[in-house]
Every structure is written in structure tokens, then in C-alpha cells.
Amino acid sequence: MAAATALHLYRTSLPTHNRFITKSRPPIRPSITCYAPHSINKCKRDYVSVMIVPTGVGASIGGFAGDALPVARALSSVVDCLISHPNVLNAAMLYWPMPNVMYVEGYALDRFAQGLWALQPVHQNKVGLVLDAGIEEYLQIRHLQVADASRASLGLPVVEYVVTDTPLEVEKWVNPTTGQSTGRIKHPDSLLRAVKNLVKRSQVDAVAVVGRFPDDEVDNLDDYRQGIGIDILAGVEAVISHLVVKEFQIPCAHAPALSPLPLTSSLCPKSAAEEIGYTFLPCVLAGLSNAPRYLVKNPEFSEKGCILASDVDSIILPIDACAGDATLAFARNKKNKPLIICVEENETVLNDTADKLGIKVVKVSNYWEAIGVIAAHKAGIDPNSLRRNRIDNIRCSSIVPANGFAVSRATSIT
């Protein structure tokens, strides 16, 4: 009885909102939410970044089978829009859908950076497929099965395929001067006729090309399979896609057709994506299905919601690969120069450093640091303010007015 009386006195002594309430009237608790209204950042425009890892230059990260894709995934979670190219986003049988990432072929990326083309986001592209007449029947069937699987299981709009009227005869080699892979196709006209056929007959918006590559001796691939050396296929793949994009101004990417390699138990994870299936085509079809369209410069860019070179806020690339057309174009943009970030841990066979080219960049040790710099830059924060003793005293500048007397004033910070 005493206990019941004490409990009653305790209940009645509590503030009204804390008292026990009967079952017929459930307790009212303050709501807790992590929801932030989208309008909170409406006063800022989208933050756009470009990630570049040149093709066929033996990049420590991004020189193998889609091993730079994790970096792109991480960056895409920080920026509003990430623009990159197939060498970064392709991983043979593997890929990762990222709604805010633009899949832009290398030649198109150069024209975009130069301000000659704009990128127009799309919901969906009709994709056409070009198969090299030099592909054996069994290997051709494998690639057609990938196309059908992408249509049935992923719903991708791969509308038609065509076989070239002549074998393309792909040749590949390593440039003895630069050390990067390159090559050619002996019959480029055959490829262009096939693409023209798809564009004219089926009005495709993008084209995937599969060329029959010469099979290498297994011993010659040991380094690449162990995660060292360069990708001997990548250079000529870029030559093929550049040819199509330059001629037709539509998205294009290439997948090589090769005989399956013998199974090995000693394989570097960076190269493994290319050995888990019969083709490299799945990532290409997925990327092209929503790649942005390329528009030659005209006054309607902004009206159509296009992205321009002037919208780019930052560039991320390997430490010694600064001489590409896109990077140089961004660096020479006097009006809207983006922040250029060079990653020291990502080395290539090139020797085109920012210091040699006279380009002002931010050097970081690795992609962990690069992402931190991007996050600070997006927030409107000087990345140096996050480091120890990196902010110096504000400087003064001298102004000489018309009367000839010098006046000192502090430089403004913007």
C-alpha cells in the first residue's frame, strides 16, 4: 500500500508531458529526424568534377580492368556530377550504376574541355552494336548473347547489330618513345560504313564496337595478369572509339573480342574482371545506355540543360599525366579555371608533370586526400585551412593612383 501511494505521488509530481498515460492515449514523443530539405542548398549550383586516367599508359590505379572504378564511386558520393571516361568506368564483365556520373568518350571529353562541345544528359540512349567481320562464329554468338542478356535482364535498349563488310584487322603495339600502347585498324572505312548504317537505319544514339584483336602468347600477358606493366589493348581501343566519335559526334566505346585465356590460380585482383567471362561487352552497353549526348557549340546550351566546360569545378588525374588535351584546355581557361588535383600515388609511364608544363595544381599523396580536397572545395573552404600551418598572414598590395602616391591595402579573399 505504501509503495502504491509513493508511485502515485511520483506520477503526480512529474510535469504533465512526462506523466504516464493510459493505453487509450499513447504517449506523445518529440519527433527526431535526419531529413534535410532539398532547398537548403538551392542557393548553390551543382559541383562538377572530372576524373581522368589516360588509357594505355600503365597507370598504377586505372591501368588495368576497371581498378579506378572504386575511386569514381567514392568521388560520385561527394560531388553533384562526375564526368569520366570508359577507361575509368569500364570493368569488362563488371560495372556500377551511378546516376550522377557521365560516361564520356575520350575524344569527346577533349572537345568538351576545349569548349567546343556540350554534354546533354539523357534518360536513355538507343544503342547499336557493331561486330567485326573477323570475329569467329562462336565468339560472335557469345557477344550477341551478352546483348540479348542486357536487354532481357537489365532492360537496356540495344536495338540492332551489324557486322562490318570487311574484317577490321586490328594491329596493336607499344610506342617506343612514350611507352604507351597504341595501334590502328587496317580498314577504318569498313567500321565507318557499319556505324553509318546503324545511325541512318535505326537512328541509334550510341554505338558499341567489338573488334577482333590478335591473341597474344600467354607468356606475354604475365605482367598484366600480375598487375604490372601496361594494357596492350587499351591504346588501339581509344583509336577506334575516337574515329567513330569524331565522324558521327555520338557516344561510342569499344570492347575487344579475344579467345579465352587458360585458367590461372595466380591472378592480380586488378586484372581479374577481364577473366570472369567470355566478353568485355557488358560494361560498355551499360555505360552507353545513358551516356550524355554531344552537342556542337551553339547558343542553346543553357536552355537545353547542357553541361559546359565552364561548369567544371575540379579535375583529378595522375601526377605525371598532365599533357592531355583535356587537361591542358582546362588549365589554360583564364575565365573559369577549375582546381586541378594531381595524385602522386597514381604513376604512369608518362613524364608530363605539372611543373614541366607550368600548370598550377594541388598535389596530393593519394585518392583519399584528393577526395578530402574535393569535399573542402565543394564546401567553399580553402583546402589549405584543413592542414597544419598552411595559412599565412594576409598579404598587402600596393596601388599607385593617378596622383603618383602609393597606397597600401589588403588583398581581398574570395
**DSSP per residue over 285-351, as a string?**
HHHHHTPPEEEES-TTTGGGT-B-GGGEEEEEEETTB--SHHHHHHHT-SSSPPEEEEETT---S--
d(C-alpha 67, C-alpha 234), whole Å: 14
The pLDDT-based confidence of 397 (bands split at 50, 70, 90) is confident
**DSSP per residue over 236-269, as a string?**
HHHHHHHHHHHHH-S-EEEEEE-PPPPP-S---G
Q: Which stretch of DSSP H or E encloses residue 69?
A: helix 69-76
The whole-number pLDDT of residue 301 equals 61
Other C-beta atoms lying within 10 Å of the C-beta of residue 78: 16
Q: What is the pLDDT of residues 74-121, one digit of tens each?
A: 999 999 999 999 999 999 999 999 999 999 999 999 999 999 999 999
Contact between 304 and 219 (Cβ < 8 Å): no
Dihedral (Cα; 333, 334, 336, 342), 10-degree rounding: 60
Helices (H), 114-233: 137-153, 188-202, 222-225
The pLDDT-based confidence of 264 (bands split at 50, 70, 90) is confident
Per-residue pLDDT at 277 exceeds 70:
yes
d(C-alpha 237, C-alpha 287), whole Å: 16
The pLDDT-based confidence of 222 (bands split at 50, 70, 90) is confident
Give the end-to-end CA distance of the chain in Å, rounded to a whole number: 73
The pLDDT-based confidence of 40 (bands split at 50, 70, 90) is low
Domain boundaries, the chain: 48-296
Phi, psi dihedrals of residue 101, rounded to the nearest 5°? -110, 135
Q: What is the pLDDT of residues 307-342, one digit of tens each?
A: 999 999 999 999 999 999 999 999 998 888 999 999
The whole-number pLDDT of residue 334 equals 81
Contact between 324 and 331 (Cβ < 8 Å): no
315: Cβ–Cβ under 8 A, 6 or more apart, which residues? 49, 50, 51, 52, 327, 330, 338, 339, 340, 341
Q: Which residues of 314-343 are buried (b: 16+ CB within 10 A; e: fewer)?
A: bbbbbbbbbbbebbbbbbebeeeebbbbbb
Collapsed DSSP state (helix, strand, coil) of residue 102: strand
Ramachandran region of residue 376, left (φ > 0), alpha (ψ -120 to 50) or beta? alpha
Query: What type of residue is 293?
Result: R
d(C-alpha 241, C-alpha 180), whole Å: 17
The whole-number pLDDT of residue 27 equals 53
C-alpha cell of 62? 586505372
Q: Three-state SS across 34-68? A: CCCCHHHHCCCCCCEEEECCCCCCCCCCCCCCCCC
Please name the residue that has the C-alpha cell 595544381.
Answer: 361
pTM over 0.95: no
